[in-house]
């Protein structure tokens, strides 16, 4: 009776095929994360200072906002770099522009309501 050890080559081939096709699965998640980070940046810019922590070791509220914005922009840059490595047929700049357009539309709809 064959055990799992003899299925090694078959499993390796399946995993290899999954990794080759993973770009089509991973890329939408990266784009989704970029959109979420863009929304987070907009919320940080629009947040009233009284809602931001401050007055402690973290500094003043506007300093907290600046640090959070810098970290958010760094995350967008990291995700954009990952997107550049994953986009085989599409230009990552166009994908980023599309994500920004979707975020702008979503935020505009929220504000209009």
Residue 34 lies inside a defined structural domain of this protein: yes
pLDDT at residue 20 above 60?
no
Q: Which helix (H) or strand (E) holds 68?
A: helix 61-86
Question: Could you tell me if residue 17 is inside a domain?
Answer: no
85, part of any domain: yes
Average pLDDT for residues 43-59, to the nearest whole number? 74
Residue 19 located in a structural domain: no
User: What integer is the mean pLDDT of 3-13?
Assistant: 55
Q: What is the DSSP-derived secondary structure letter of residue 58?
A: T
Q: What is the pLDDT of residue 76?
A: 94
User: By residue range, what is the domain housing residue 101?
Assistant: 26-112
Q: Does the pTM exceed 0.85? A: no
């Amino acid at each position: 009776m064959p055990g799992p050890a003899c299925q090694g080559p078959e499993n390796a081939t399946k995993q290899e095929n999954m990794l080759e096709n993973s770009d089509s699965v991973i890329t939408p998640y990266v784009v989704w994360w970029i959109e979420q980070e863009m929304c987070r940046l907009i919320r940080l810019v629009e947040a009233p200072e009284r809602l931001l922590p401050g007055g402690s070791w973290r500094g003043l509220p506007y300093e907290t906002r600046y640090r959070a914005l810098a970290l958010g922009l760094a995350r967008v840059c990291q995700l954009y770099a990952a997107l550049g490595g994953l986009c085989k047929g599409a230009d990552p700049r166009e994908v980023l522009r599309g994500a920004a357009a979707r975020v702008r539309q979503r935020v505009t709809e929220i504000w209009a309501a």
